[in-house]
A and B are shown apart, each in its own frame.
Chain A
Amino acid sequence: MGVRKLFRNTIMRLLAIEDLTPPEEQLKALNDLIAKYDIKITSQSSRRILQDLKRRHLVDSIIVSDNNGNLLLSTETNGLKDAIIASSVFQYATTEFRRSNFFFLKDNKGWVMFFTHNKRLFIVRAQSNLEPVELKALAKDVEKYLLQN
């Protein structure tokens, strides 16, 4: 059996008849992955940019307000209400936990994450919680694309 296998392997190598070609199905899956997640933000429309930012950062909604609850921007239609509630919750939380900049709440829809960046309050909803480094990057991205304009 051993000799047979050795003979077979030798012949296969010599003749290069092994079925070795890049797997097409897997390569197609990679192209699907690129199409879904390679999000280039090129639009001039604020609304479109916000939707692209949501997709890029894998979140369900982004709301930005000032510390008094005045809405600066939102991906949702009920952003104003959320901004007012969030700023109240954030102000209360920071009085109790003075050294904290990030607050994470879990509700039945997923996670609500509050944090401040450059004196603005960000309220982010997502199915799973993001790391603070991810939230900071999101805030920088939002500022880069929207708040400077």
Chain B
Amino acid sequence: MGRIISLTSGKGGVGKTTIVANLGIALAQLNQKVLLIDADIAMSNLSLLFGMQGSPITLHDVLLGEADINDALYDGPANVHIIPSGLSLESYRRVDPERLESVVKEISSNYDFVLLDSPAGIEKTVKATLAASEEALIVLMPEPPSIADALKIKFTAQRLGCKPIGVIVNMVRNEPGEINAEDIMKMMELPLYGIIPFDDEIRKTFLRKKVVPTIVRAPHSRGVMEIKKTALKLVGRPVAITQEKPKEGFFAKLVRIFRRR
């Protein structure tokens, strides 16, 4: 059976969906068999990122018991398989998210990695996603509200029997005031699986006519290069996850130079 990992956060807008998409493709490029599941059954942003908003059979149909899981599988870049979610609010209201656990277990044996794009928050669908996963990677931004929500989701995951394995610090700008990744690691008591810099290429993903994950369009962008390191760490290859030094102002630089002398 493959590893079933939720990418979760508590707080919305921290970049879970972007990381799931790019990380999934990065793992596939390392010859791993990868399935991505859009477990955000209300918002379905992963489906939008892969242009699957019009898919005839979705996770909604599977969770409603109206379709087989194998009929909801679609091919993505680099041979990644994707199960999109539906956009319909009517079917979302009828879906029982607790069926996700049995659905995921049924199909996970065909893959090395099953990555679930978890909804934000701490409500029913999030708990169902965590309960369906064996491991959780917590995505956060280097600021207190994001870390507070990440802590809550860590405790929730532990409570539900899903093992938090690490944190991915996203949208790092190396500005003064940001909380250092090492401090986040200590606070979360979890190893770092990625320090992803703020990357304009990733930010512009949904601003282009043709929406594709950044790893396809700009495979050497700063953010993508760091996500590739996360993939290497997940497959057990030795990789250093380190933070760049914070940016210094002109005056601070001058002071440092004079202090040295």
Binding site for B on A (CB under 8 A): 13-18, 20-23, 26-27, 29-31, 33-34, 37-39, 56-58, 131-134, 136-138, 140-141
Q: Output the least CB separation between A40 and chain B (Å).
A: 10
Q: How far is the CB of B218 from chain A (nearest CB, A)?
A: 28
Residues of A within 8 A of B258 (CB): none
Q: Whose C-beta in chain B lies nearest to the C-beta of A31? A: B187
* Stretch from B32-40, B109-117, B176-184, B208-216 forming part of the interface with A: B176-184
Check if A27 sits within 8 Å of B179, measured CB to CB: yes
The answer on a CB contact under 8 Å between B148 and A29 is yes
Residues 158-185 of B, flagged 1 when their CB comes within 8 A of A and 0 if not, give: 1111000000000000011111100100
CA gap between A133 and B147 in the complex, in Å: 25
In angstroms, how far is the closest chain A Cβ from the Cβ of B138?
14
A20 lies within 8 A of B177 (CB)? yes
Verify A133–B159 contact, CB threshold 8 A: no
B123-164 contacts to A, CB under 8 A, are: 124, 127-128, 131, 144, 147-148, 151-152, 155, 158-161
- 5 new A-B contacts, CB < 8 A, other than A20-B175, A29-B144, A136-B131, are A16-B252, A22-B179, A133-B127, A133-B131, A141-B161
B124 proximity list for chain A (CB < 8 A):
131
Binding site for A on B (CB under 8 A): 98, 101, 124, 127-128, 131, 144, 147-148, 151-152, 155, 158-161, 175-180, 183, 187, 189, 248-252
Complex Cα distance, B159 from A39, in Å, reads: 10
Which residues of B have CB within 8 Å of A18? 176
Min Cβ gap B144→A in Å is 4
How far, in whole Å, are A58 and B160 apart by their CA atoms in the complex? Answer: 12
Q: Which residues of B contact A20 (CB under 8 A)?
A: 175-177
With both beta carbons as reference points, the residue of chain A lying nearest to B188 in the complex is identified as: A34
Residues of A with C-beta under 8 A to B147: 30
| 22 residue pairs from A and B, CB less than 8 Å apart | A14-B251, A15-B250, A16-B176, A18-B176, A20-B177, A21-B176, A21-B177, A26-B148, A29-B144, A30-B144, A33-B152, A34-B151, A34-B187, A38-B189, A57-B159, A131-B124, A131-B127, A133-B128, A133-B131, A137-B159, A137-B161, A141-B161
Q: How far is the CA of A26 from the CA of B124 in the complex (A)?
A: 28
Tell me how many residue pairs across A and B have CB atoms closer than 8 Å. 78
- Complex: chain A residue closest to B252, CB-CB: A16
Chain B residues with Cβ under 8 A from A27's Cβ?
A: 144, 179
CA distance A31 to B187 in the complex (A): 8
C-alpha spacing A78/B189, complex, angstroms: 38
A134-B148 CB under 8 A given contacts A14-B250, A15-B249, A30-B187:
no
Asked if residues B159 and A17 are in contact (CB atoms below 8 Å), the reply is no
Q: How far is the CB of B11 from chain A (nearest CB, A)?
A: 13
Q: How far is the CA of A29 from the CA of B149 in the complex (A)?
A: 12
